[in-house]
């Protein structure tokens, strides 16, 4: 076997590429035999057998029974194994912390979500998060699973080289060296990413955008973030800051944005914009049941309330969402003309409101995007809901292993 | 040597990857020895020697003398060879056709540019173009160079799979199957691309964006096109239509664009917008020497005239370009936030006006783009001027060879 004698640089590289290729086919296609893998990858049978041998030893792959025979000797089917290890996914949001533990095939073994107050000191929030990660790791270890890594999604800009949160405007945090802090503490690889980027990767690996090679993910939390998958990989730009589509200027004379500019897309389609529209309508005396829903305290209006009212037929709520849908559609048209993606996914608060947004978004994109890139396009709501980012954090760990196999 | 016995699928793949890697290093770094290539690529010496052996036989690489000795045996330096073959680059513009013949290292051996009237029938323009290509190919063949391919840049949307011009609004052409028409006729591989995409690739291979891995190229001809290089490759989107950034909506209530939408970026920064601004100023009685330059026929104003006047200190011209610069800067900020590119290149008419545009563009981008992606950014005018696209057409041929070596 190749792996038993020292490989040259070339052989080691080829080995890694071949291993990644085989694992990726198993991830995408589920159970395949060695012969099936050989046909799918174009690798010869002995190479496939040798790589599979090592993957079985590492418990990254398992045998799941014989293929139904179609004449000839039936092959043993293989798939990625839950026993390959466990991963911890973490999301530090503006007002909550969420942690999940999954096995190698992203089945959730444990989850916890705690509220947090953005006014709390950074040290307190980080320390609570670390306790949760520790709890997750202990559960994984008790189950006899090796720790594959810890992934973290944060609502801000990330220095990928360093694994540092550079700036999170809505948390008011800057320069938090998470990878450095946590790699030693947890004795595991640590991956830090912007939350929209992580969510996009989660959608690609485990969501409805599975195997969609070119994907724009829009994540509406407090602001509006974007995660972009190009050719099956997260696109991070030349220094890790790509995808800040929420700050695309759609109206140079528009409203002031948190970033200091006027008329950013985020100011007309983000959750704040939804709430503002509804509030303005109520303040100008429009009839609506929203006032009752929030017991006449308009400061309690959020996207959830607006969607609830819209579902009950409330016209103020429905009109606000339709208006948002138009602006969303215009910005999405820009992204369609720019990226020619197969899919645009609405995540976060947008996925919550998607039954009302999608029809208007689709109509607007039909009017505003060029015809040719539109032909291939699907627009959909994220299937992950509130867990999009934390499952994306798991995807960061899985992505690293599938791209750069452990072997 | 590997190449003397039949390779398995794996070996052939590795061979192609290694060959591409070695040629790319030689392209980027110029003369390197076998030992230098081994150090640069991480490939072992025997692999490098074997690949170089074949490249020398194919005349794709040549030896250029001994390395200055630093003790030890001096190595023979290698570089890409002009004798590797010749390529023909073609641009069909709205009112001209341009053709160049170059050797394998993109040195121009012959060029011709002829005006054409957009009112001419498509058949006439195509037939004149074919005559020029034939002329170029004959010259290449006379010089004993094998034909590497014909690259074509067109001002429209291209179906890459088919090599078909799908739609060129400003020519009024649709569904012209150039690859099919020309592959047989010229007995050479034919590559068809959108002109801004081609120009971007030319900038990456032969221009000032050499080795810039993430690049946005803006090409202002009649409209405003974009070409995007990501991770050193032309980004084409999921069906080949990416990069239509000129149709990003910057003002939903703005002017009607040729694409049928309102307020596209192109309507406020394209050459037509420059001319319109100047004309409006003149019509409202502003003092300017532009009237004299066009002998009081305002229909003769073009970007060249405006730049000429601006250079002579004309305030109307300078003001118009400054206003364009602001709108250009806002749109570029969107692209910076989205792509986090190392470089944005202004091509076509924009490069002509760049002395007046660049300072305003840079100031606007400082105000409008996020701080972090801005740090790495350079904004520059294309060095290729009017030949950006036709040299880009050469780059299409070279790109194919460097990615998928002939061997």
**Residue B68: both structure tokens together:** 């200055």
Is B242's Cβ below 8 Å from some Cβ in A?
Answer: yes
Q: What is the token pair recorded at B102?
A: 């170059």
**Residue B260 has what pLDDT?**
82
* Residue B187: its H or E element: none
In whole numbers, what is the pLDDT of chain A averaged over residues?
Answer: 90
Give the mean model confidence (pLDDT) for residues A258-282: 89
Please give the share of chain A, as a percent, with pLDDT higher than 70: 96
- Give A404→chain B minimum CA distance, Å: 17
Three-state secondary structure call for residue A214? coil
Q: What is the domain class of A2-80 according to CATH?
A: mainly alpha
Over residues A255-265, mean pLDDT: 86
> What is the count of residue pairs from A and B with beta carbons less than 8 Å apart?
147
Please tell me the predicted confidence (pLDDT) of residue A94. 87
Q: Is A321 left (phi over 0), alpha (psi -120 to 50) or beta?
A: alpha
Q: Which residues of chain B neighbour A47 with C-beta distances below 8 Å?
A: 10
Q: Nearest to residue B397, comparing CAs of B183, B110, B106? A: B106
A368 and B249 in contact by Cβ < 8 A?
yes
Tokens standing for B97? 């056709």
Is CATH 3.30.160.20 the right assignment for the domain spanning A84-205+388-403? no
Is it the case that residue B13 has pLDDT exceeding 80?
Answer: no
Lowest mean pLDDT segment, chosen from A60-74, A198-212, B110-124, B178-192: A60-74
Range with the poorest average pLDDT among A1-10, A32-41, A301-310: A1-10
Long-range contacts of A365-371 (CB under 8 A, 24+ apart): A365/A329, A365/A332, A365/A333, A365/A336, A367/A329, A367/A333, A367/B261, A368/A329, A368/A330, A368/A333, A368/B249, A368/B261, A369/A332, A369/A333, A369/A336, A369/A337, A370/A336, A370/A337, A370/B157, A370/B241, A370/B244, A370/B247, A370/B259
User: So what's the pLDDT on residue B118?
Assistant: 78
For position B237, what pLDDT does the model report?
Answer: 93
Contact A339, A304 (CB under 8 A): no
- Cβ atoms of B137 and B188 within 8 Å: the answer is yes
> Which of chain A's residues have a Cβ under 8 Å away from the Cβ of B49?
none
Q: What angle do CA B80, B82, B84 make, to 5 degrees?
A: 80
Question: By the 8 A CB rule, do B286 and B316 touch?
Answer: yes
Tell me what pLDDT residue B5 has.
Answer: 35
Report the chain B residue with the minimal C-alpha distance to residue A240.
B340
pLDDT band at B139 (very low <50, low <70, confident <90, very high): very high
* Residue B252 in contact with partner chain A when CB distance is under 8 A: yes
Average pLDDT score over residue span B209-221:
90
B292 within 8 A of B284, measured Cβ to Cβ:
no
Average pLDDT, chain B: 90
* Separation in Å, CA of B258 to nearest CA in chain A: 11
Task: Please state, in angstroms and rounded to a whole number, the distance separating the CA atoms of residues B156 and B170.
Answer: 8
Q: What is the pLDDT of residue B333?
A: 95
Q: Which of B252, B311, B282, B182 is nearest to A364 (CA)?
A: B252
Q: Is ipTM strictly over 0.90? A: no
**Interchain pair B214, A18: CB under 8 A:** no
Alpha-carbon distance values, B208 to A202, B29, B316 (Å): 37, 15, 31
pLDDT at A54: 94
Asked whether the predicted pLDDT for residue A3 surpasses 50, the reply is: no
**pLDDT value of residue A92:** 96
- Identical topology for domains A84-205+388-403 and A208-383: yes
pLDDT at position A1, please?
28
Instruction: Report d(CA B343, CA B349) in Å as an integer.
Output: 18
Report the distance separating Cα A280 and Cα A179, nearest Å.
44
Q: Which residues of A touch B241 (CB under 8 A)?
A: 340, 370, 372-373
B368–A43: do the CB atoms touch at under 8 Å? no
Beta bridge partners of B110: B101
pLDDT of residue A71: 66
Residues 44 through 63 of chain A touching chain B, CB cutoff 8 Å: 44, 47
Identity of the residue in A230, A240, A337 whose CB atom sits nearest the CB atom of B235: A230
Q: Where along chain A do its domains lie?
A: 2-80, 84-205+388-403, 208-383
Cβ within 8 Å of A, B 353-392: 367-368, 370, 372-373, 375-376
Q: If you average pLDDT over residues B134-158, what whole number do you get?
A: 96
pLDDT on residue A9? 52
Q: Coil, helix or strand for B375?
A: coil
Over the stretch B44-103, which tens digit does the pLDDT of each residue have?
899 899 999 999 999 999 999 888 766 667 789 999 999 999 999 999 998 899 999 999
The per-residue pLDDT for B152 is 98
Whether chain B has a CB inside 8 Å of the CB on A161: the answer is no
In this prediction, residue B180 carries a pLDDT of: 97
**B240 CB near a chain A CB, below 8 Å?**
yes
> Residues B224-245: pLDDT tens digits?
999 999 988 899 999 888 999 9
**pLDDT surpasses 80 at B373:** yes
Architecture of the domain defined by B85-205+388-403:
2-Layer Sandwich (3.30)
- A98 pLDDT band, cuts 50/70/90, is very high
Report for A262-271, B17-26, B329-338: range of highest mean pLDDT:
B329-338
Q: For the domain covering B211-383, report its CATH number.
A: 3.30.420.40
Query: Under CATH, which number does the domain A208-383 receive?
Result: 3.30.420.40
Q: What is the mean pLDDT of residues B366-376?
A: 92
* Pick from B43, B238, B368: CB nearest A340: B238
Residue B331: burial class (beta carbons within 10 Å; 0-12, 13-18, 19+): buried
Instruction: Output the pLDDT for position B29.
Output: 85
């Amino acid at each position: 076997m190749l792996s038993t004698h020292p490989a040259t640089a070339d052989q080691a590289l080829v080995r890694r590429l071949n291993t990644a290729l085989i694992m990726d086919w198993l991830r995408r296609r589920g159970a395949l035999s060695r012969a099936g893998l050989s046909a799918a990858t174009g690798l010869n049978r002995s190479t496939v057998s040798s790589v599979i041998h090592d993957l079985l030893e590492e418990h990254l792959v398992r045998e799941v029974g014989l293929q139904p025979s179609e004449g000839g000797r039936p092959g043993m089917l293989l798939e990625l194994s839950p026993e390959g290890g466990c991963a911890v996914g973490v999301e530090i949001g503006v007002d909550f912390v969420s942690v999940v533990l999954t096995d190698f095939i992203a089945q959730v073994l444990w989850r916890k979500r705690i509220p947090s107050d953005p006014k709390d000191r950074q040290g307190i929030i980080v320390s609570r998060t670390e306790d949760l990660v520790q709890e997750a790791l202990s559960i994984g270890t008790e189950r006899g699973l090796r720790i594959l890594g810890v992934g973290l999604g944060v609502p801000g800009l990330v220095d990928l080289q360093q694994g540092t949160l550079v700036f999170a405007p809505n948390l008011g945090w800057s320069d938090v060296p998470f990878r450095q802090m946590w790699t030693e503490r947890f004795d595991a690889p640590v991956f830090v990413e912007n939350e929209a980027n992580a969510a996009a990767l989660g959608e690609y690996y485990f969501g409805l955008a599975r195997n969609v090679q070119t994907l724009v993910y829009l994540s509406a939390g407090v602001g509006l973030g974007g995660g972009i998958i190009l050719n099956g990989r997260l696109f991070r730009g030349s220094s890790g800051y790509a995808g800040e589509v929420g700050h695309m200027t759609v109206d140079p004379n528009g409203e002031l944005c948190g970033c200091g500019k006027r008329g950013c897309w985020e100011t007309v389609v983000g959750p704040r914009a939804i709430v503002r529209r509804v509030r303005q309508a109520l303040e100008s005396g429009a009839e609506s049941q929203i006032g009752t829903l929030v017991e006449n305290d308009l400061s309690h209006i959020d996207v959830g309330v607006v969607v609830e009212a819209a579902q009950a037929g409330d016209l103020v709520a429905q009109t606000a969402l339709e208006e948002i849908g138009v602006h969303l559609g215009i910005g999405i048209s820009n992204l369609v003309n720019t990226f020619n993606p197969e899919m645009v996914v609405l995540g976060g608060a947008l996925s919550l409101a998607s039954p009302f947004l999608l029809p208007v978004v689709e109509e607007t994109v039909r009017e505003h995007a060029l015809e040719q890139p539109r032909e291939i396009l699907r627009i959909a709501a994220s299937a992950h809901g509130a867990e999009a980012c934390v499952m994306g954090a798991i995807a960061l760990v899985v992505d690293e292993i599938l791209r750069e196999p452990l072997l």
